[in-house]
Each structure stands twice: as structure tokens, then as C-alpha cells.
């Protein structure tokens, strides 16, 4: 049975929230119908989503999230535990959204973080996203398949996989050893906890030639939601999205519109 998440239209009367370090990169669009929190891969920063911003329609308010210890928050201690980071993110999103409809879109580890933040909001009985968008993200209940690969490969054979996971940007900025110690350890420590499926729709995006998250592995995202789960595949590898921002934005906006319902009249 398909379940839907009730959406309360934003009437413009709730007070705006002050920007925090988490949402300092947000592009505020007065009159937008939904706020889209974008979560980068676990070695990345909010700037990863800059190409997405101009591709989204005006009724979507893009909000690239800056995680502690990354980007503009590099001097802050990074959080190396996914559930704890998800808890902090969920509380920040609840404060920042202030009753407005919102959605998540995360790439790789950012998709995992978005999933866990959604579950935390549900546990607390707080408003949840109208849509969960994940890109190049293994289904959390099969995350152990990725971590098994990381645990069993010798260090010198980890580098090709690491380049796919963290991207050349992170390797160039931090050095391979820093990425290995700081970012891969986050993946290794994650343990999925069994809970009821989500009730929001999930949009799954991926690269056809992704060696980290093969397309057949993403099919089981359908087990994690009672809502509609859509799959979209593009040419490319783990960072296929670098060459596909316009198409991803178009399909993401289409799914957001479907989750929100008909457009508001002026």
C-alpha cells in the first residue's frame, strides 16, 4: 500500500529563521514552496551543489548544507559518527524549516545522512521531508557490502575506490592519508538499525558505470519506503552528477512537484 506524507502549505506567516553555519550557503527565494537541503559526499562541502542552484525552478529554495569540519566550517571538529551527525542535522533542519515543506537530496554519504536524519525526525514525531532524494548512495540496509569492500582491500588497492568515494577534490585538498583516516572511517563505523519503512517517496539517482554503487545494488531502496520509489540512471561513474546537473535538477523538481501537489495559484 502506498502511503503519503501530509504536506502543510506554507502560508508565509511563520517567522523566518536566522542563518546558521549549517545553512549559510542557502539561496533564499521568497515565495518558494519547498526548501531543498542538499548534503554532499562525506569528504565534500556545500559548494559541491553550486551547479545545481541555477538549474532549480524558483519555487524550490536550494539549501546546500555545510557539515562541521568541512568547507566554511573546516576549523570546527568534524562529527565522525553517522547517527550523531544525523541527529544534529535533523534538529537543525527542524529549526531552520520552521514548519515549511522541505526535502533532502544527498550524494553518496550525504544520501545516507539524509536517510538517517529522516528517521530521527520520525522518532521524535517532528515534520519529515516530502521527498528523500539520494544520489550514488547504497541502500543503508546493505551498507555493509560497501564497508566489507573497504575492510578487505589492501591499502594500495583502496586508492581507486577512494577516488570514487571521496572524489579528486577531497584527495587534492586533504591528501590521501587524511581522507583514508577521516572519511573512510565514517563509512566503516556505520551500522544499519532495523526500523519500519519510511512513508515519504524516494528518488534514487545514479551513474550507469558507477563501480562503488552498481545499479543493481540500488534496487533495494524500494524496501525502505512505503511511498513511491523512482530510479533514474545516467551515463557516468560515481560522480556522474558533475556532467548531469541540468537533467538531475529537472527530474528532482518533477518529483518534488509530485510530492507537493499542484502548483499554488498566484
Query: Quick one: cell of 130?
Result: 516530502
Which of 21, 33, 26 minimizes the C-alpha distance to 53? 26
Query: Quick one: cell of 190?
Result: 556505520
pLDDT score, position 13: 33
Which regions of the chain are under pLDDT 50?
1-17, 171, 173-176, 179
pLDDT score, position 154: 58
Strand pairing class (34-39; 60-64): parallel
pTM of the model: 0.86
Residues 198-207 have pLDDT tens digits of: 999 999 999 9
Contact (Cβ atoms closer than 8 angstroms) between residue 220 and residue 141: yes
pLDDT score, position 188: 77
Spatial separation of the C-alpha atoms in residues 118 and 141, rounded to whole Å: 15
pLDDT score, position 266: 58
pLDDT score, position 185: 75
pLDDT score, position 14: 36
pLDDT score, position 179: 47
Domains within the chain, CATH numbers bracketed: 21-139+193-259 (3.40.50.1820)
Amino acid at each position: 500500500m502506498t502511503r503519503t506524507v501530509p504536506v502543510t502549505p506554507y502560508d508565509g506567516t511563520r517567522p523566518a529563521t536566522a542563518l546558521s553555519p549549517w545553512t549559510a550557503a542557502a539561496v533564499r527565494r521568497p515565495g518558494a514552496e519547498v526548501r531543498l537541503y542538499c548534503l554532499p559526499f562525506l569528504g565534500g562541502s556545500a559548494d559541491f551543489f553550486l551547479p545545481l542552484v541555477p538549474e532549480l525552478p524558483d519555487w524550490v529554495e536550494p539549501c546546500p548544507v555545510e557539515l562541521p569540519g568541512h568547507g566554511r566550517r573546516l576549523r570546527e571538529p568534524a562529527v565522525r559518527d553517522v547517527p550523531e551527525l544525523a541527529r544534529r542535522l535533523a534538529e537543525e533542519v527542524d529549526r531552520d524549516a520552521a514548519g515549511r515543506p522541505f526535502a533532502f537530496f544527498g550524494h553518496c554519504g550525504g544520501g545516507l545522512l539524509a536517510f538517517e536524519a529522516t528517521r530521527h525526525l520520525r522518532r521524535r514525531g517532528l515534520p519529515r521531508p516530502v521527498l528523500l532524494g539520494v544520489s550514488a548512495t547504497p541502500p543503508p540496509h546493505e551498507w555493509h557490502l560497501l564497508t566489507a569492500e573497504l575492510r578487505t582491500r589492501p591499502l594500495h588497492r583502496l586508492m581507486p575506490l577512494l577516488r570514487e568515494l571521496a572524489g579528486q577534490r577531497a584527495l587534492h585538498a586533504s591528501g590521501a592519508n587524511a581522507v583514508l583516516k577521516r572519511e573512510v572511517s565514517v563509512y566503516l563505523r556505520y551500522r544499519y538499525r532495523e526500523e519500519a519503512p519510511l512513508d515519504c517517496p524516494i528518488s534514487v539517482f545514479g551513474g550507469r558505470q558507477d563501480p562503488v554503487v552498481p545499479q543493481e545494488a540500488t534496487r533495494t531502496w524500494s524496501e525502505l519506503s512505503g511511498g513511491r520509489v523512482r530510479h533514474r540512471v545516467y551515463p557516468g561513474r560515481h560522480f556522474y552528477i558533475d556532467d548531469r546537473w541540468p537533467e538531475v535538477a529537472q527530474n528532482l523538481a518533477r518529483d518534488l512537484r509530485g510530492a507537493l501537489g499542484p502548483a499554488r495559484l498566484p
